[in-house]
Structure 1
Amino acid sequence: MNSASSGAKTLKITSNAGVVEARQLVRALTLECRLSLVEQTKLVTAASELARNTLIHGGGGTMTAALVDERGRRGVRLAFQDTGPGIPDVDLALTDGWTSGAGMGLGLSGSKRLVDDFTLETVPGQGTTVTITMWKR
């Protein structure tokens, strides 16, 4: 996580309980950052989708969460990392409606639309890292 961050915390996402814990941590950070209710809801929703992707498609992994201060802005940054199979076609994976499983195909593309900053790094056979940030307005 680039920029100044305070109290970064990393959670393991290896079960549904890890997904729930990730949502709870994100909610707490959004309150601490004083994000609006709409911003809180968007970030928690995106985090829930990405945590579930980390568990289901990545075989489990981690979420690192922190408050960040960057260029005079304050926000919440989350990084979801797994060592799963990676994503062979990122453009396809970011297409609304495309799914590699039984879902609705809105996880990655929907999460990208919900947050201010979204980066996806993946290497087939080595894993994926998705980093998202929501900035306080």
Structure 2
Amino acid sequence: MHAPLAPTTRLPIGSDTDLARVRRQVRQAAADLGFRLVQQTKLVTAVSELARNTLVHGGGGHMEMTLLRDGTRRGLRLSFVDAGPGIRDVDLAMTDGYTSAGGLGLGLSGARRLVQEFALDSTPGRGTTVTVTDWVSGLPSPRAGAP
């Protein structure tokens, strides 16, 4: 069971200043939970993309951040919520190379690859919620044959 460690924090996403605040808050929470630097960087990269999508494509919204515990594991669940136009074709939007705004086409699919759990819920005309969850990874396993 994913039990919250603290109340959910809600941060607005309505400007570039908000995007910077969201990234900063997520990086700090990840560091406090014990995420290693590379994992923090991957998570903040995904967050940056999802927050920007919330602002640009969803017309703004908010992020909900929940610190989690599942037994001895610790993690973060982040939901990006907007009430924008929604995504008409989710399968197409999740395809590498697809872009609706002239970018590289790695947004949603790239964010999905950077986190451990990814869920997208979108209804045309009602908005989109993308929820990602990442868990603190332990130390890497030693290589076979290493001393």
Task: Give the TM-score band, short-chain normalised.
Answer: over 0.9
> Which amino acid letter does the alignment assign opposite residue 127 of structure 2?
G
Identity of aligned residues (%): 54
Q: Which has the higher strand share?
A: 1
TM-score by length of 2: 0.89
Q: Hey, what does 1:124 align to over in structure 2?
A: 124
Separation in 2 of the partners of 1:135 and 1:107?
21
Q: Hey, what does 2:141 align to over in structure 1?
A: none
> Which amino acid letter does the alignment assign opposite residue 100 of structure 1?
S
Deviations 1:87-114 (A, max 9, x none): 0111100001101112111110000000
Deviation at 1:67, TM superposition (A): 1.0
Separation in 1 of the partners of 2:102 and 2:14?
20
* Aligned Cα root-mean-square deviation (Å): 1.1
Answer with 1 or 2: which has the greater Rg: 2
Q: Hey, what does 1:59 align to over in structure 2?
A: 59
Aligned residue pairs total: 136
Gaps in structure 1 of 5+ consecutive residues: none
Matches within 5 A, 1:60-99: 60-99=60-99
Report the secondary structure of 2:67's partner residue.
strand
Using the TM superposition, name which of 112-121 and 63-72 deviates more. 63-72
Separation in 2 of the partners of 1:18 and 1:102?
23
> Which amino acid letter does the alignment assign opposite residue 23 of structure 1?
R
Q: Hey, what does 2:22 align to over in structure 1?
A: 22
Deviation at 1:71, TM superposition (A): 4.5
